[in-house]
Amino acid sequence: MAEPKLNYVQCPDATGGHRMAYWQWGEAAKGHVIVCVHGLSRQGRDFDVLARALVEKSGGAVRVVCPDVVGRGESDWLTDPALYQVPTYAADMLALLAQLKPTTLDWVGTSMGGLIGMALCGQPHLPLPVPVRRLVLNDVGPVIQWESIVRIGTYLGRNMEFDSLQAAADAMWTISTSFGPHTPAQWLELSCHMVKPRRDGQNGVRLHYDPAIAVGVRAVTADTAAQGEAMLWYLFDAITASTLLLRGANSDLLAPATALQMTQRGPKAHLIEFIGVGHAPTLIAADQVDAVTSFLLA
| Lowest-pLDDT range of 50-54, 221-225, 273-277 | 221-225
Mean per-residue pLDDT over the chain, rounded? 95
pLDDT of residue 28: 95
User: pLDDT higher for 155 or 10?
Assistant: 10
Extended strands (E) in 139-293: 161-162, 195-197, 205-207, 242-248, 270-274
Which of residues 149 and 117 earns the better pLDDT score? 117
pTM: 0.96
Provide the pLDDT for residue 79.
Answer: 94
Residue pLDDT, tens place only, 159-218: 889 999 999 999 999 999 999 999 999 999 999 999 999 877 788 999 999 999 999 888
Residue 260 pLDDT class (50, 70, 90 cuts): very high
Assign 75 a pLDDT band (cuts: 50, 70, 90).
Answer: very high
Q: What's the confidence (pLDDT) of residue 1?
A: 54
Residue 227, pLDDT score: 85
If you average pLDDT over residues 228-232, what whole number do you get? 92
pLDDT value, residue 2: 78
Are 63 and 28 spatial neighbours (Cβ–Cβ below 8 Å)? yes
Over its C-alpha atoms, the chain yields an Rg (Å, rounded) of 18
Q: How high is the pLDDT of residue 104?
A: 98
Q: What pLDDT does 23 receive?
A: 98
**Percent share of the chain, pLDDT over 90:** 85
**Percent of the chain whose pLDDT exceeds 70:** 100
Label residue 122 by pLDDT band (50, 70, 90): very high
Lowest mean pLDDT among 84-98, 218-232, 255-269: 218-232
Nearest to 45 by CA among 188, 156, 203: 188
Task: Give the pLDDT confidence score for residue 196 in this predicted structure.
Answer: 94
The answer, yes or no, to whether residue 8 has pLDDT greater than 90, is yes
pLDDT reading at 279 higher than 90: yes
- Give the pLDDT confidence score for residue 288 in this predicted structure: 98
- Say if residues 143 and 232 touch (Cβ distance below 8 Å): yes
Q: Domain boundaries in the chain?
A: 5-146+227-297
pLDDT tens, position by position, 10-39? 999 888 899 999 999 999 999 999 999 999
**Architecture of domain 5-146+227-297 in this structure:** 3-Layer(aba) Sandwich (3.40)
Cβ atoms within 10 Å, residue 70 = 24
Q: Mean pLDDT over residues 267-294, rounded?
A: 97
Which whole number is the average pLDDT over 110-133?
97
Q: Is 278 helix (H, G, I), strand (E, B) or coil?
A: coil
Q: Is 251 exposed, middle or buried (0-12, 13-18, 19+ CB in 10 A)?
A: buried
